Chain A
Amino acid sequence: MKIRINVAPDIVVTPIIAEVILETRTLLNISQAHIDSTKGEIIADVPNDEFNKIKAALTSRGAKVTVMDKPISRDEDECVECGACVSVCPVKVFTFGEDWSVNLDEGKCIQCGTCIEMCPHGALTLEQ
């Protein structure tokens, strides 16, 4: 499952992700990380059955953890199924169906945002 980890400025300097991986002995796959002097935000994939353990370990270190049910959403009224998004997505969230519909596998999304800039109809938004 995809989670968002928010880190306050006072703990940005602590290697909490590494600590959590060592403590829980669970692999955590980071797909996005934006860290500056005021805050840190990390998007990561964690195994479903290990989520509670990881969340507890992160929370105890002062991080805030949110589950991202829908990393990306599509406005069906705006989408014309042109497929502009298909070639820019690094993880193949978008694929053409047999009938040339554009299918969306939202679980794969790593929120890189490239498709948002590509869509001519402004149909895609990242969950905040």
Chain B
Amino acid sequence: MVEKSIHEINRRIKDGSVNVVTAEEMVGIVAELGADGAAKEVDVVTTGTFGAMCSSGVWVNLGHSEPPIKMQKVWFNDVEAYTGLAAVDAYIGVTQLSESRGMEYGGAHVIEDLLRGKSVDVHATAYGTDCYPRKQLDTTITLDDINQAVMMNPRNCYQKYNVATNSSNRTLHTYMGALLPDYGNATYSAAGVLSPLSNDPNYETIGTGTRIFLGGAQGYVTGAGTQHDPTNKFGTIMVQGDLKKMNPDYVRAATFPGYGTSLYLGIGIPIPIINERVALATAVSDADISTNILDYATASRARPKLGQVTYEQLKSGTIDINGREVPTSSMSSFKVARKIAGELKDWIKRGEFFVSLPVDRLPTVGVFKPMLQTQETPLVGDIMSGNVVTIKQDASVYEAAKKIIESEFNHLPVVSNNNSLVGIVTSWDISKAVAEDKFDLVEDIMTKDTVKAISGETIDIAAYRLDQNNVSAMPVVDKNDQVIGIITSDDISKLLARRC
């Protein structure tokens, strides 16, 4: 059994005799020499990843103004930062959007602008106290002007991530990019063979205190990340580093159209090869790492799982989903991940970066729990009108008009002879037909592409769909497309009015 101490490895880094390889190179070395041989031969394996890391942000300390202010609210280039702390501390979160520019500019852009040396406008308000009398502040600063700018990210570096696809008939705009209708594409993230936590899945060397490459500078792992889910092999880490020392090549603001802003961040973690077990773990390849394909068309935290694929399959450019060949896109850059693993390797070789063992291990068991919701969310079935009035598709416009007047419903779901939904007709459609002197059948004037709901959906989802499609009512259907009710925006407003 090969055992190496961290001091021994750091001594080799110091005298220049250290043998460092990337996690990609290690796959072949272990295949050739075995874990035992590789553990003797290799001292450090470097990993890297470069992708969107939404749970990121920077703590800044602006120094005191004259007269002093205890900022109650603060904005950087119109992006609000959190300041529920002492006077001039604030946290700029990467996904916070600009109040004037919306999704095109967010906290991530403020951070990148600061790092690139650009000036940033600061606006702050306060209630004023005896010790902090100032109530308003406007100034313009650069990164050099502020005391600390510490990147502190509660969750980065997912061990692996789900693959996203879309079974619905419209494009979805998500944090996994645009998902085209009808399984038009599938997107994935994480670096596979180079993914830091996948190369140390038992968290033997990556833990609290581990020195890492963070945004082009030296940073640290401060502990397990939020949503750390080791039991399901979805581990995460919390990290910290000095923004002032980072390199803008590895700290890049992004906008996912229709979703919002995020930060592409480069992280590289060195794995000291302290024994054969650690060596063997770093031999993991793209073919060894599998992940789930999820259908993002279901707007629920329990998205249906459509299958499992390996990173090797994902990187081939297409994957098989229920017999279809679906093109894949990576949302993180493997090229930059490789560059990071290479750069970290060079730092270690040149004696500029020393490896460390964690002062505390990350939990190796535990799961990410769903939210406890104490207030019940009403379902479509709870508030829909069950006594819905439908009309046959071959009925006349006159009959439809009569039904609307009698029933006081503004919308009539149109059904076929076997009662399944084929369209919807509104009082407006009828008025239009009358105005144009068109007394045809209902099926000639109805809207065919009906937006519909099911009774088990939550009201929030129904309201979102009404809004997205710009309609005011949806027929509620069962699994055989038979109309069992109707839900209108009025029903939803009444529910909200009752709550208040």
Number of A-B contacts (CB under 8 A): 75
Q: Are A82 and B255 in contact (CB under 8 A)?
A: no
Q: Are B338 and A117 in contact (CB under 8 A)?
A: no
B70 at the binding interface (Cβ < 8 Å): no
Given contacts A84-B177, A87-B186, A87-B187, A121 and B254 within 8 Å (CB-CB) = yes
A118 at the binding interface (Cβ < 8 Å): yes
CA A117 – CA B254 in complex, angstroms? 12
Given contacts A120-B177, A120-B254, A87 and B336 within 8 Å (CB-CB) = no
Q: Are A88 and B178 in contact (CB under 8 A)?
A: yes
Given contacts A88-B180, A121-B252, A121-B254, A81 and B336 within 8 Å (CB-CB) = yes
Contact of B185 among A88, A99, A101 (CB under 8 A): A88
* Ranked 7 nearest A-B pairs via Cβ: A87-B329, A87-B185, A120-B254, A100-B335, A87-B327, A82-B333, A83-B330
Q: Are B331 and A84 in contact (CB under 8 A)?
A: yes
Stretch at the interface among B31-39, B256-264, B281-289, B388-396: B256-264
Annotate A77-91 by CB proximity to B: 1 below 8 A, 0 otherwise.
000111111111000
Given contacts A80-B333, A82-B330, A83-B330, A122 and B186 within 8 Å (CB-CB) = no
B75 at the binding interface (Cβ < 8 Å): no
Given contacts A80-B252, A82-B330, A84-B329, A120 and B262 within 8 Å (CB-CB) = yes
Contact of A84 among B104, B330, B338 (CB under 8 A): B330
B52 at the binding interface (Cβ < 8 Å): yes
Interface size counted on chain A using CB atoms at 8 A:
20
Given contacts A96-B317, A120-B255, A120-B264, A114 and B331 within 8 Å (CB-CB) = no
Residues of A within 8 A of B256 (CB): 120
Q: Among residues 295 to 320 in chain B, which have CB atoms less than 8 Å away from a CB atom of chain A?
A: 317
CA A89 – CA B185 in complex, angstroms? 10
Q: Are A83 and B333 in contact (CB under 8 A)?
A: yes
28 pairs from A and B in contact (CB 8 Å cutoff)? A80-B50, A80-B333, A81-B333, A82-B51, A83-B334, A84-B177, A84-B187, A87-B327, A87-B328, A88-B177, A88-B178, A88-B184, A88-B185, A99-B335, A100-B333, A100-B335, A100-B338, A101-B335, A114-B180, A117-B178, A118-B177, A118-B178, A120-B52, A120-B254, A120-B256, A120-B264, A120-B331, A121-B255
CA A122 – CA B258 in complex, angstroms? 13
CA A7 – CA B315 in complex, angstroms? 44
Residue from A88, A96, A100, A120 whose CB has the most chain B CB atoms within 10 Å: A120
Q: Are A82 and B332 in contact (CB under 8 A)?
A: yes
CA A122 – CA B101 in complex, angstroms? 15
Given contacts A114-B178, A117-B178, A122-B255, A82 and B338 within 8 Å (CB-CB) = no
Known contacts A82-B331, A84-B329, A88-B184; can you find 19 more A-B pairs with CB under 8 A?
A80-B252, A82-B51, A82-B330, A82-B333, A83-B334, A84-B177, A85-B329, A86-B327, A86-B330, A87-B327, A99-B338, A100-B333, A100-B334, A100-B338, A101-B335, A118-B178, A120-B331, A121-B264, A122-B255
Task: For residue A118, give the distance in angstroms from its CB to the closest CB of chain B.
Answer: 5
Main secondary structure of the interface of B (DSSP, over half): strand
Interface size counted on chain B using CB atoms at 8 A:
32
Q: Among residues 85 to 120 in chain B, which have CB atoms less than 8 Å away from a CB atom of chain A?
A: 104
CA A99 – CA B262 in complex, angstroms? 26
Instruction: Mark B residues whose CB is within 8 Å of A.
Output: 50-52, 104, 173, 177-178, 180, 184-187, 252, 254-258, 262, 264, 317, 327-336, 338
Residues of A within 8 A of B52 (CB): 120
CA A83 – CA B332 in complex, angstroms? 8
Q: Are B329 and A83 in contact (CB under 8 A)?
A: yes
Closest A residue, CB atoms, query B51: A82
CA A80 – CA B17 in complex, angstroms? 34
CA A84 – CA B186 in complex, angstroms? 10
Closest A residue, CB atoms, query B252: A80
Residues of B within 8 A of A117 (CB): 173, 178, 257-258
Residues of B within 8 A of A85 (CB): 329
CA A87 – CA B177 in complex, angstroms? 11
Q: Among residues 91 to 128 in chain A, which have CB atoms less than 8 Å away from a CB atom of chain B?
A: 96, 99-102, 114, 117-118, 120-122
Residues of B within 8 A of A84 (CB): 177, 187, 329-331
Closest A residue, CB atoms, query B315: A96
Task: For residue A93, give the distance in angstroms from its CB to the closest CB of chain B.
Answer: 13
Annotate A45-65 by CB proximity to B: 1 below 8 A, 0 otherwise.
000000000000000000000
Residues of B within 8 A of A86 (CB): 317, 327-330
Task: For residue A27, give the distance in angstroms from its CB to the closest CB of chain B.
Answer: 28
CA A81 – CA B249 in complex, angstroms? 12
Q: Are B177 and A81 in contact (CB under 8 A)?
A: no
CA A85 – CA B327 in complex, angstroms? 11
Residues of A within 8 A of B329 (CB): 83-88, 118
Residues of A within 8 A of B173 (CB): 117
CA A101 – CA B336 in complex, angstroms? 9
CA A87 – CA B173 in complex, angstroms? 15
Task: For residue B117, give the distance in angstroms from its CB to the closest CB of chain A.
Answer: 15
Task: For residue B262, give the distance in angstroms from its CB to the closest CB of chain A.
Answer: 7
Task: For residue A126, give the distance in angstroms from its CB to the closest CB of chain B.
Answer: 15
CA A100 – CA B315 in complex, angstroms? 10
Residues of A within 8 A of B257 (CB): 117-118
CA A102 – CA B333 in complex, angstroms? 10
Residues of B within 8 A of A121 (CB): 252, 254-255, 264
Residues of A within 8 A of B255 (CB): 120-122
Task: For residue A15, give the distance in angstroms from its CB to the closest CB of chain B.
Answer: 28
CA A86 – CA B187 in complex, angstroms? 10
Task: For residue B54, give the distance in angstroms from its CB to the closest CB of chain A.
Answer: 12
Residues of A within 8 A of B336 (CB): 80-81
